[in-house]
Chains A and B, each alone.
Chain A
Amino acid sequence: MTTTQERLSAEPASPAAPPAAEATATRPRRSPLHAVRRLLPAVPILAALAVWQLLTSYDVVAWVRFDKIPGPGEVGAAMTAQLESAVFYQHVVSSLGRILSGFALAGLAGVLTGIAVGRSKIAAALVRPLIEVARPIPAIALVPIAILLFPTSEQGIVFITFFAAFFPVTVATIHAMKALPPVWTDAARTLGASRFQILLHVVVPGAMPSIFSGLSVSMGVAWICVISAEMISGQFGVGYWTWMSYSLLDYAGVVTGMLTIGVLGFTTSWAIERVGRRVNRWLPGEGA
């Protein structure tokens, strides 16, 4: 009680003081540990930034060479410049368009294939061997074939993304079909549900937790493939842009591209996580 009040009254009094120092100063008994723990995640990031700054500003060359690597300041400036340029957004939009179309197609096809294979012995016999043969091929190895197959590199990239993202969802869905408690289906059957109604009302909702974990894996590999495919054969996109910056010796641009990819990857994963939480909010671990 008192510590909160002290802190509240202390805050406007010393606006310039960093929050960490303030918290430790006004909550003497319990808070030092508490505040430290809250700030803990920032420590490694700040440390990494500091190391980066030191290595690049002194142009350290010790087996690995930091003399051509841009420092945080340079990257920050490059990033600010890019965020104000319309072309940069075109690259982002173009990558996002590819990944979302490839991923959406893969999600749909993967769930449908997974349900068919998991529920029907005939479908399993017909499709499973193909899946097992194609799955170990890294999608990126399909680049030459994709260039030959598709009229535009755009379609080729979407195809590669699709190929990469297809397997994690499919396999997760197949497993979900096997893991469903039989009593759910039994109960629905005794209540008069048809095969299709069981599929719609029992199997699909019950499989959603696994499907969503498959989807988030898919999203990860989809990014890897989009970026690599863009680096190899794109005419637009963040991957292409990053590689172009490298070719033009714009190393700050390279790091800007990397960070952009990181942010985009994080945002899409977060979106899937959010939707998954919403769909599966009945799971024991979820709130409300």
Chain B
Amino acid sequence: MSTATETGAKVELREVRIDYADGPAADLDLTVAPGEVVMLLGPSGCGKSTILRALAGLQPIAAGAASVDGEPHDQSHKCAMVFQEDALLPWRTARRNVEFALAMRGVPRPQRRALAVDLLGQVGLTDFAEHLPRRLSGGMRQRVQLARTLAARPRVLLMDEPFGALDAQTRLEMQRLLVSVWRRHRTTIMFVTHDVDEALLLADRVVVLSPRPARVVRVVDVDCPREPDAQLEPTFARQRQEILALLGHDLTKP
């Protein structure tokens, strides 16, 4: 975790409340350490996406304070988001999508191409740089999105069920890829998922949320985060049961 401070930013949510017209969608208190991977788990519609959107500056905060590295969260673009949907610009090739993010960051045009190709290489898409999104599979498109988001040099990577639409095999590959990318960049990651196994495999901490409005119900610390054989450990099974019980319990509540 010592190298983490170089690139990842600390995220502090102090009694942050986010409202929609029909009432609060989230109300939470959470501190994420620099370079930490935090997985957010909660019932559908509880407000997980809303929390990430607020941190990305796409949704106003009604009360409380959110800060990134001690600064108010919307002062700079330190948080970039990987969306669950296909968020690539379909008229740009994979490379040009990544270059778009570089351009928005202010990278001079002559340097963009090489950087974009390098980032696509990091997500294993060197051979597909010149493909339009419609010629890429769902998993490949999410990899391009990851590369594009990394191109913005975020200090906090917000990921909203980025692998939710993928099949089990691809999802596993993507999880490995994310870990390798994270080892390299050491950004702070806030990752929303529905999948308890995914949460326990990737997280330093798993945050379990209540039904809407999202509140922190429990924070589960993972002992040896991202160990290859973590699934075989007895603690894994125990924590999995614990989280499932929390979610199941909350889901059956009226």
Contact = CB atoms under 8 A, between A and B. Distances in A.
A6 interface: no
B90 A191 contact: no
A112 interface: no
Contacts of A206: 89, 91
Interface string B74-104: 0001011101011101111000000011001
Contacts, number: 61
B77 A192 contact: yes
A187 B81 contact: yes
Nearest to A202: B89
B115 to A, nearest CB: 14
Interface string A249-288: 0000000000000000000000000000000101110000
A10 B149 CA distance: 62
Contacts of B57: 189-190
Contacts of A283: 90
A184 B81 CA distance: 12
Contacts of A202: 89
A205 B132 CA distance: 14
Nearest to A279: B91
A86 B58 CA distance: 63
B194 interface: no
A65 to B, nearest CB: 56
A188 B145 CA distance: 12
B89 A191 contact: no
A72 to B, nearest CB: 47
Contact of A197 (B104, B149, B151): B104
Nearest to B101: A191
Interface in B50-81: 53, 56-58, 77, 79-81
Interface string A68-92: 0000000000000000000000000
Contact of B105 (A188, A189, A192): A192
A274 B97 CA distance: 25
A190 B132 contact: no
A207 B87 CA distance: 16
A184 B87 contact: yes
Contacts of A181: 85
Interface string A182-217: 011011111111000100011001100000000000
A186 B87 contact: yes
B104 A205 contact: no
Given A191-B101, A192-B77, A282-B134, A186 B58 contact: yes
B41 interface: no
Interface residues of B, number: 27
A189 B89 contact: no
Most central of A187, A280, A283 by chain B CB within 10 Å? A187
B152 interface: yes
Given A190-B58, A191-B101, A193-B104, A201 B89 contact: yes
Interface in B144-195: 148-149, 151-152, 158
B87 A187 contact: yes
Contacts of B86: 183
B130 to A, nearest CB: 12
A192 B105 CA distance: 7
A190 B57 CA distance: 7
Interface string B131-151: 010100000000000001101
A47 to B, nearest CB: 42
Most central of B56, B77, B91 by chain A CB within 10 Å? B91
Contacts of B151: 191
A118 to B, nearest CB: 19
Nearest to A280: B91
A179 B77 CA distance: 27
Nearest to A197: B104
A142 B58 CA distance: 47
A19 B77 CA distance: 68
Interface string A142-181: 0000000000000000000000000000000000000001
Contacts of A188: 100, 104
B87 A282 contact: no
12 contacts: A183-B85, A187-B83, A190-B57, A190-B81, A190-B152, A191-B80, A191-B105, A205-B91, A206-B89, A282-B92, A282-B132, A284-B134
Given A191-B77, A201-B100, A205-B89, 17 more contacts: A181-B85, A186-B53, A186-B56, A186-B87, A187-B81, A189-B57, A190-B57, A190-B79, A190-B158, A191-B104, A191-B149, A191-B151, A206-B91, A282-B90, A282-B91, A283-B90, A284-B134
Interface of B: 53, 56-58, 77, 79-81, 83, 85-87, 89-92, 100-101, 104-105, 132, 134, 148-149, 151-152, 158
Interface of A: 181, 183-184, 186-193, 197, 201-202, 205-206, 280, 282-284
Of all A-B residue pairs in the complex, the 7 with the closest CB atoms, nearest first, are A282-B91, A187-B87, A192-B77, A192-B104, A191-B104, A190-B56, A191-B101
